[in-house]
């Protein structure tokens, strides 16, 4: 069907204006009919309404017949149409719900796909794990095996496991299971380190120490300098535990056991250190560019510290008092220092001042106690004429007439305070003789000088208190008392000092001649003039010839301390027995 021309269309529009709706214009059948209608003649065009009416009536008749013959179909069609409409409504609502749920379903599908992928990967991993079960089990058992080796002392195997764990960490440091295994292995390695250090803190011999240091070096936790320090610290702790176990009730027993333990064990530690660490090989320089360490200073500083600790213990026990066994203790300490001279740690030079101080303080206390005892005796003393037991009131024997012997003056037995004082001083001399450094000459003389000055003052005080009640006989006895003190006791004490500190030896130590030493005055002797100055008004006018500076021939230490009698105890001398008052 040809399309209607624009011109024809405009003509038809003007003819049939407002005769049909605008929607018909777009209908092709309508356009075709108009085109055909416009081609009719007048006659045919006049018959066209009748034909259309007949055709219309015919169509209506056919429609009625069709509806009558197919009314059930139309009813079913209407019902179906209604059902279809309802179904389409339900479908539309279901489709709407489906469209609403499709995004969530899509996300769930994606999650399911991911889970499926993960499950597949896990399945593949489980299959691989099952195939490598033996190797994986060996790796997982490394911490347990490491702990077993460490606790049973299999350090070689433990070090191999630790090295294998380090290699695993380098290759697979990102895996959590490897990190956990390495962490447990490090804990076992720390336990192993503590056990090795604890072995150094025990009574380990050189082979055991060599093995322990070898293991510590292979563990690579300390530098060479730190390893030396750790070794010395651990061995020092063990030595300190031994020293701490020594009972401290008796100072002499404590210090002797300390000397023995230090001499034996400290020497062993030094020997072990020198066998394990060679100071001839220099230490590697630090990685941070600092100055290289002096390995000898580490060892030397530790030895100096231990010697200083021993000297502190020795000084503390000496201050507590060791009785009359100072010479024995000095001998042990000197032997200790001599043994350490072989390792370059001779400390004997530090012992002399210490023992000299203790000996001087002990002598000073003993002399002061003698002076105090003399004061007590004088407070209770009465001048009574006693029978001469040993010829004390008879003619006095000049000290120079018996230069070959050094015996206490027997005349002092008639005067109990003087005899007791001399006994106490001789006891102090005998204790000092066992350990008598030459450097104490001045100190001993000074202490004795102070004590004698106190004695002189006590004698003067006794005279002033009792003078008014003296009888003529008591005056004679008191003068004899003072004369015995001045002419017998004091010169005898001076001779004892000369025996303890021979002038020739003092001159040799000082580097002067004996004549020059004599000019020094009271060095190593008592200043008799100063002691007797308070008693000048009590002494007779004549001066006895006392040559205190003349050399004493055939005198020895044995002269000062003869063998004790059967009733004499330790430390008592023959002079003490002779001067003891019955």
Instruction: Report which of residues 496 and 386 the model is more confident about.
Output: 496
| pLDDT exceeds 50 at position 1 | no
Mean local confidence (pLDDT), 321-338: 84
Q: Classify residue 508: in a domain, yes or no.
A: yes
| pLDDT exceeds 70 at position 375 | yes
Instruction: Report which of residues 391 and 26 the model is more confident about.
Output: 26
pLDDT value of position 174? 86
Q: Give the closest residue to 156 by CA, choosing from 103, 212, 209.
A: 212
pLDDT value of position 573? 34
Which helix (H) or strand (E) segment is 469 a member of?
Answer: none
pLDDT value of position 396? 44
Host domain of residue 511: 365-579
Residue 357: half-sphere exposure toward Cβ, Cα within 13 Å: 9
297: tokens are 């200073």
335: tokens are 């032997």
Mean local confidence (pLDDT), 382-393: 53
Mean local confidence (pLDDT), 515-520: 67
Instruction: Report which of residues 261 and 561 the model is more confident about.
Output: 261
What's the CA angle centered on 459, arms 456 and 460, to 5 degrees? 90
Q: Give the closest residue to 24 by CA, choosing from 36, 14, 34, 15.
A: 34
pLDDT value of position 211? 93
Which helix (H) or strand (E) segment is 297 a member of?
Answer: helix 295-320
- Report the range of poorest mean pLDDT among 34-48, 312-326, 517-531: 517-531
| pLDDT exceeds 90 at position 453 | yes
11: tokens are 């003509």
| pLDDT interval class at 445 (50, 70, 90) | confident
Reported as a single tens digit per residue, the pLDDT across 284-306 is 555 555 555 666 788 888 988 98
| pLDDT exceeds 50 at position 571 | no
Mean local confidence (pLDDT), 186-205: 91
In sequence order, what DSSP letters do the residues of 67-113 get, joined into one string? HHHTHHHHHHHHHHHHHHHHHHHHHHHHHHHHHHHHHHHHHHHHHHH
| pLDDT exceeds 80 at position 482 | yes
HEC string of 498-532 equals HHHCCHHHHHHHHCCCHHHHHHCCCCCCCCHHHHH
- For the beta carbon of residue 342, count every other beta carbon within 10 angstroms: 10
| pLDDT interval class at 361 (50, 70, 90) | confident
- What is the Cα 261 distance to its own chain's centre? 22
Q: Classify residue 564: in a domain, yes or no.
A: yes
Work out how many domains the chain is built from and give that number.
1
462: tokens are 């006794």
Task: Give CA separation, 522 vs 396, 428, 498, 543, in Å.
Answer: 26, 20, 11, 20
SS3 content of the chain, % helix, strand, coil (to 5): 75, 0, 25
Determine the 3-state secondary structure of 571 from DSSP.
coil
pLDDT value of position 581? 30
Q: Classify residue 261: in a domain, yes or no.
A: no
DSSP structure class, residue 559: H
Distance CA 498, CA 526 (A): 10
Number of H helices, E strands in the chain: 24, 0
| pLDDT exceeds 90 at position 330 | no
What φ, ψ does residue 551 adopt, rounded to 5°? -65, 140
| pLDDT exceeds 50 at position 560 | no
| pLDDT exceeds 60 at position 3 | no
pLDDT value of position 520? 65
Mean local confidence (pLDDT), 456-470: 88
HEC string of 428-466 equals HHHHHHHCCCHHHHHHHHHHHHHHHHHHHHHHHHHHHHH
Q: How many residues does the chain have?
A: 582
pLDDT value of position 563? 37
533: tokens are 């100055």
Reported as a single tens digit per residue, the pLDDT across 162-183 is 999 999 888 888 888 889 999 9
DSSP structure class, residue 265: I
188: tokens are 């076992």
Reported as a single tens digit per residue, the pLDDT across 275-288 is 988 765 555 555 55
pLDDT value of position 387? 44
pLDDT value of position 562? 35
Q: Classify residue 270: in a domain, yes or no.
A: no
HEC string of 135-190 equals HHHHHHCHHHHHHHHHHHCCHHHHHHHHHHHHHHHHHCCCCHHHHHHHHHHHHHHH
Distance CA 496, CA 514 (A): 18
- What is the Cα 48 distance to its own chain's centre? 132
Instruction: Report which of residues 289 and 510 the model is more confident about.
Output: 510
| pLDDT exceeds 60 at position 550 | no
Q: Classify residue 334: in a domain, yes or no.
A: no
Mean pLDDT of the chain: 80
| pLDDT exceeds 70 at position 390 | no
Q: Classify residue 455: in a domain, yes or no.
A: yes
| pLDDT exceeds 50 at position 572 | no
Q: Give the closest residue to 405 by CA, choosing from 273, 258, 562, 284.
A: 562
pLDDT value of position 290? 55
pLDDT value of position 112? 93
pLDDT value of position 451? 92
What φ, ψ does residue 39 adopt, rounded to 5°? -95, -5
Distance CA 228, CA 237 (A): 14
Mean local confidence (pLDDT), 395-399: 42
422: tokens are 């001399």
| pLDDT exceeds 60 at position 514 | yes
């Amino acid at each position: 069907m040809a399309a209607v021309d624009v011109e024809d269309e405009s003509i038809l529009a003007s003819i049939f204006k407002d005769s049909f709706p605008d929607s018909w214009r777009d209908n092709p059948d309508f356009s075709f009919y108009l085109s055909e209608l416009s081609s009719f003649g007048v006659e045919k065009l006049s018959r066209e309404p009748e034909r259309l009416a007949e055709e219309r009536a015919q169509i209506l008749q056919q429609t009625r017949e069709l509806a009558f013959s197919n009314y059930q179909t139309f009813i079913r069609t209407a019902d179906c149409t209604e059902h279809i409409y309802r179904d389409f409504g339900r479908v539309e609502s279901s489709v709407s719900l489906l469209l609403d749920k499709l995004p969530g379903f899509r996300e769930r599908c994606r999650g399911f796909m991911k889970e499926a992928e993960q499950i597949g990967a896990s399945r593949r991993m489980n299959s691989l794990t099952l195939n490598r079960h033996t190797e994986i089990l060996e790796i997982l058992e490394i911490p347990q095996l490491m702990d077993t080796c460490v606790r049973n002392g299999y350090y070689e195997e433990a070090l191999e496991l630790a090295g294998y764990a380090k290699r695993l960490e380098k290759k697979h440091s990102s895996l959590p299971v490897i990190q956990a295994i390495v962490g447990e292995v490090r804990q076992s390695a720390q336990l192993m380190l503590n056990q090795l250090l604890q072995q150094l803190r025990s009574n380990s011999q050189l082979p055991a120490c060599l093995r322990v240091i070898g293991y510590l070096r292979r563990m690579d936790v300390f530098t060479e300098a730190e390893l030396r320090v750790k070794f010395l610290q651990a061995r020092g702790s063990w030595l300190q535990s031994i020293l701490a176990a020594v009972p401290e009730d008796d100072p002499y027993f404590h210090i002797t056991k300390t000397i023995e333990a230090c001499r034996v064990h400290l020497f062993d530690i030094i020997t072990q250190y020198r066998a394990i660490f060679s100071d001839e090989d220099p230490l590697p320089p630090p990685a941070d560019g600092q100055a290289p360490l002096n390995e000898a200073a580490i060892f030397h500083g530790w030895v100096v510290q231990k010697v200083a600790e021993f000297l502190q213990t020795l000084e503390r026990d000496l201050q507590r008092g060791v009785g009359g066994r100072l010479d024995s203790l000095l001998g042990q300490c000197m032997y200790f220092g001599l043994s350490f001279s072989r390792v370059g740690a001779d400390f004997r030079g530090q012992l002399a001042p210490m023992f000299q101080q203790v000996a001087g303080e002990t002598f000073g206390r003993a002399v002061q106690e003698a002076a105090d005892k003399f004061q007590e005796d004088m407070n209770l003393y009465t001048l009574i004429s006693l029978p001469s037991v040993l010829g004390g009131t008879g003619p006095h024997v000049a000290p120079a007439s018996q230069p070959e012997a050094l015996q206490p003056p027997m005349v002092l037995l008639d005067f109990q305070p003087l005899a007791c004082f001399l006994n106490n001083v001789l006891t102090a001399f005998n204790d000092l003789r066992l350990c008598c450094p030459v450097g104490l000459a001045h100190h001993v003389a000074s202490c004795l000088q102070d004590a004698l000055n106190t004695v002189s003052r006590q004698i003067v005080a006794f005279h002033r208190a009792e003078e008014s009640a003296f009888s003529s006989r008591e005056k004679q006895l008191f003068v004899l008392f003072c004369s015995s003190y001045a002419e017998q006791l004091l010169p005898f004490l001076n001779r004892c000092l000369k025996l303890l500190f021979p002038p020739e030896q003092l001159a040799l130590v000082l580097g002067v001649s004996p004549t020059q030493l004599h000019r020094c005055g009271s060095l190593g002797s008592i200043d008799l003039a100063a002691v007797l100055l308070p008693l000048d008004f009590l002494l007779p006018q004549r001066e006895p010839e006392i040559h205190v500076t003349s050399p004493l021939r055939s005198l020895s230490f044995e002269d000062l301390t003869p063998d004790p009698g059967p009733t004499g105890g330790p430390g008592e001398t023959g002079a003490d027995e002779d001067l003891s008052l019955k």
